[in-house]
Structure 1
Amino acid sequence: MNLPPLPAVGGETPGRSIVDLIAQQHRELLGLTDRLAEAPDDPDVASVLVATLSRHLCAEEQYLYPAIRTAVPGGEQIADRELAEDQAILERLRDLERTGSGRGDLAEAVRRHVAADAEELLPLLEQMVPAEDLVRLGNRFATAEEAAPTRPHPATPSTPPWNKVVDPIVGVADKFRDVISSRTTYVSDL
């Protein structure tokens, strides 16, 4: 299991910035949408995309958007807009998982999500939050992502504190289902 490093005693917090983690994940998500377009009948690629994007959105809801709300002027509106778009993505993911439909719409929604974060959210966060705090957020983000559900659950809470309580519980149930069904959920397993 990938867990963030423990904090250093009397020094700089080890780990990666939330901005770096999200940027890396965005590249991975774009690569997965491209792979799905190239191999639309590959159930493993679709499963990995659903799982990776579900975990990613969950972790953003737990740590990125609350940080935007707190640190960025006008952050409430920005976070609310992004949460609404994430909700639409989760519904598209659910459709993909259930019926295999909506690949093109999902790919476009992922591109919009990545662009919005890269062009607006992440630069604002870097401007307004000290580097040490960005690393702390990155450590929490990585932990939340590992505990997050691997399937879309648009009906679960999307804001703290309830999402931080519900998501890990739903994540355990999803991971149990994944093991039972031998479902592929990580890019490294493709």
Structure 2
Amino acid sequence: MSDAPLPPLPPVPGVPDEDFEPAGPDMIDLLEADHAALDRLCARAQTEPAASDVLVATLARHLSAEEQYLYPAIYAVHPEGRAIAERELAADAELLVALQRLHSGVDEAALRSVTEHVHAHARRTADELFPALRERCTGGELVRLGNRVEIARSAAPTRPHPGTPSTPPLNKVVDPALGVVDKVMDALTRRTTWEEDL
């Protein structure tokens, strides 16, 4: 068992926490799938204007989930976790500014900037963060974090909100509240926010 920041498990009579095997995908598998989807959406947004809205929404949800669960996990289990988390949060802040420009209107320079940030982010996490977590966390811990990532993505904002809290506990309160507002606006404007709806 590592020092990963995990929510408490509900009690299972007769089964100690360390023997409980949660079900679901692990956090790394979910985030890798997000990275593949973001790569596809960056390519599609170059020729399909509607894909730009989906790219913005998908990336906003992804960053929210990573800030709530990936970075705190790496902070807790990696000897250089604090520096790594701070570096990633600074890169996310830059990305949110570029994403806000893209959301304001399809702009070739903004799309290029978002695409470059997405590719650099995916490389860093694949090369450094994910291997470190696989080495330092149990499979059960990664699944428990994956379950939280799924919940966080479903409640996350669908628009960039630079300047809002990016670390727990405040982002775990602010992001779902902004997510509600964003989803109402999406419904009113009939904005497409999921790749499968393109």
Query: CA contact under 8 A between 1:54 and 1:150: conserved in structure 2?
Result: yes
* 22, 26, 37: which one aligns with 2:31: 22
**Cα distance in structure 1, aligned partners of 2:33 and 2:161:** 24
**Cα distance in structure 2, aligned partners of 1:58 and 1:154:** 11
State the match for 1:36 in structure 2.
45
RMSD: 1.5
State the match for 2:81 in structure 1.
75
**Cα distance in structure 2, aligned partners of 1:145 and 1:59:** 6
* 112, 131, 147: which one aligns with 2:155: 147
* 176, 184, 195: which one aligns with 1:176: 184
Deviation, 1:34, is 1.0
1:106-157: CA deviation from partner (whole Å, max 9, x where unpaired): 1111100100111111111111111110000000011001100000001110
1:23-47: CA deviation from partner (whole Å, max 9, x where unpaired): 111011001111112x1xx332000
Deviation, 1:7, is 8.0
Query: CA contact under 8 A between 1:8 and 1:14: conserved in structure 2?
Result: no
**Does 2:175 align with 1:187?**
no
Q: Point out the structure with max Rg over C-alpha.
A: 2
**Cα distance in structure 1, aligned partners of 2:161 and 2:94:** 11
**Does 2:65 align with 1:59?**
yes
**Does 2:96 align with 1:90?**
yes
Deviation, 1:103, is 1.0
State the match for 2:5 in structure 1.
none
State the match for 2:164 in structure 1.
156
Q: 1:27 to 1:8 in 2, by over 3 A?
A: farther
Q: Residue type matched to 2:49 in 1?
A: P
Deviation, 1:99, is 3.0
Residue-pair matches, total: 182
**Cα distance in structure 1, aligned partners of 2:90 and 2:106:** 23
**Cα distance in structure 1, aligned partners of 2:23 and 2:80:** 30
Which 5+ residue runs of structure 2 have no aligned equivalent?
Answer: 1-8
Query: CA contact under 8 A between 1:32 and 1:49: conserved in structure 2?
Result: yes
**Which residues in structure 2 correspond to 1:116-127 (within 5 Å)?**
116-127=124-135
Identity within the alignment, %: 49
TM-score, normalised via structure 2 length: 0.89
Which 5+ residue runs of structure 1 have no aligned equivalent?
Answer: 1-5
